[in-house]
Amino acid sequence: MDGTLTKAVINFAKMRQRANILEGDILEVLGTLPVQERVRVEAIINEVEDEALPKMQINDGVIELCNLLDEARVPRALLTRNTSKAVAYFHENHFSSMPPFAPAVARDFGLLPKPDPAAILHICREWGVLPSETVMVGDSLQDDVISGNRAAASTILLDMDGTAEHHLMDGELKPAFIANSMHDVAQILQTEFVLRAH
């Protein structure tokens, strides 16, 4: 969600500093903490994310892309390392004129977060499709591309700031396609895939 459907506005540097988790994947480190410390750090993470909610802005091209998929009767899901609260805020404040993403899988859903492929595989089971019939679109090589590749889905890296060329992209880090905007994502979906109604 953050950086793909919406502009990235969460202050992760502040989150890391306040949580005193300066290295490593913050959710992975959180999972290793003793219970009392985990509760304290999780409250900090939630607080920093809540502070960002009023700043949330939908990315250009999202509504048009979703209209394209809806008209073709192609299902769309939302998968985020953020909370269900943030997903609800997005749907209510930025997406209320559209059918919601379904399913919408947040980190408090009970599945391992990206880059683990569990949530993508869950979505595929909900839809009754094979992972190879799906496309994972996201702005993170480490989270979105790896989870999509591990699930055997096609992957589109959304590289709106043009920095992807500076990263080593091979193996699990190699997306099938790179898009510079959500408009580019729509074009890739129309030209490189068969949009099959479900």
What integer pLDDT is reported at residue 132 of this predicted model?
A: 97
Residues 6+ apart with CB under 8 A from 111: 105, 118, 119, 122
DSSP-based three-state secondary structure for 105: strand
What integer pLDDT is reported at residue 126 of this predicted model?
A: 97
What integer pLDDT is reported at residue 167 of this predicted model?
A: 80
Mean pLDDT estimate for the chain: 95
The yes or no reply on domain 62-192 and CATH 1.20.272.10 is no
pLDDT exceeds 90 at position 192: yes
Query: 60-77, pLDDT tens digit by residue?
Result: 999 999 999 999 999 999
* Highest mean pLDDT (candidates 24-28, 85-89, 160-164): 85-89
pLDDT exceeds 90 at position 56: yes
CATH 3.40.50.1000 in the chain: give the residue spans: 62-192
What integer pLDDT is reported at residue 163 of this predicted model?
A: 86
The model's pTM is: 0.91
Mean pLDDT confidence for 38-48: 94
Using a pLDDT cut of 90, give the percent of the chain over it. Answer: 89
Query: 147-179, pLDDT tens digit by residue?
Result: 999 999 999 999 998 888 778 788 999 999 999
Query: 111-154, pLDDT tens digit by residue?
Result: 888 999 999 999 999 999 999 999 999 999 999 999 999 999 99
pLDDT exceeds 80 at position 53: yes
- The CA-atom distances, in angstroms, between 151 and each of 3, 123, 131, 135 are 21, 11, 6, 10
- The CA-atom distances, in angstroms, between 41 and each of 14, 37, 87 are 13, 6, 21
DSSP 69: H
